[in-house]
Amino acid sequence: KMIQYYKTINNKLETLNSFEEGCWINIVKPNQNEINEIVNLLGIDYDTIKSALDEEERSRIDIEDNHTLIIIDTPIDESDNDSSLYTTIPLGIILLENALVTVCTTQTKILNEFTTSHVKDFYTYKKTKFILQILHKNASYYLYYLRKINKLTTTIEKEIYSSMKNEQLIQLLELEKSLIYFSTSLKANEVVLNKIVRTNAIKKYPDDEDLLEDVL
């Protein structure tokens, strides 16, 4: 099922069958009918969902009357046995009065950490904190992949010095490309973060200040 509903009940994340106040709606690669279902249920624009599913969409924040849309770039590991490519794709976060929605073309590792209850102090109804926790996890994955890229680059460089093979040069170029993806995406994410700090559409709570600083 491409639309899933979750809610923190008695400090435990539960899966729901349908919408409830204070829930988190996680949408992954929805089909046309599912998009229509969500648009009707939540009273949001069709374009809001579609833009979060557009792989070319850039990071941004849009404040509408009844919702705020945040789009950030999230890092993806596309490596396999023959290749070492890391890219980024958009992840949409829609903040509503009574719920929080995440939209993506793929089930990301970041959101899996929330669905499998690996994130401390996570409550679906603490929406500002939830957004900051997603952004923080996102930043952590960038750092994790950058460390992997760094390690791999060092290994390949050593191999190149000793053997000079084409495959390794290709791999090195792919890693370079990965860094450009990350660099561009992180700059765009930073702009969005600064707007989140400034906007009144997203409530700020004193408790979240440390987390916000960590994310920045």
Calpha distance 61→54 (Å, rounded) = 15
Calpha distance 191→204 (Å, rounded) = 18
Calpha distance 186→45 (Å, rounded) = 27
Task: Give the pLDDT of residue 164.
Answer: 63
Q: Quote the pTM value.
A: 0.85
> What are the mean pLDDT values of the chain's consecutive 10-residue runs (216 residues total)?
93 95 96 94 93 92 93 92 87 96 95 93 95 94 91 82 73 86 89 87 87 88
As a whole number of angstroms, the longest Cα–Cα distance in the chain is 61
Residue range 89-101, pLDDT digits in tens: 999 999 999 999 9
Task: Give the pLDDT of residue 173.
Answer: 82
Task: Give the pLDDT of residue 54.
Answer: 93
Task: Give the pLDDT of residue 165.
Answer: 67
**Locate tokens 């970041």: which residue?**
110
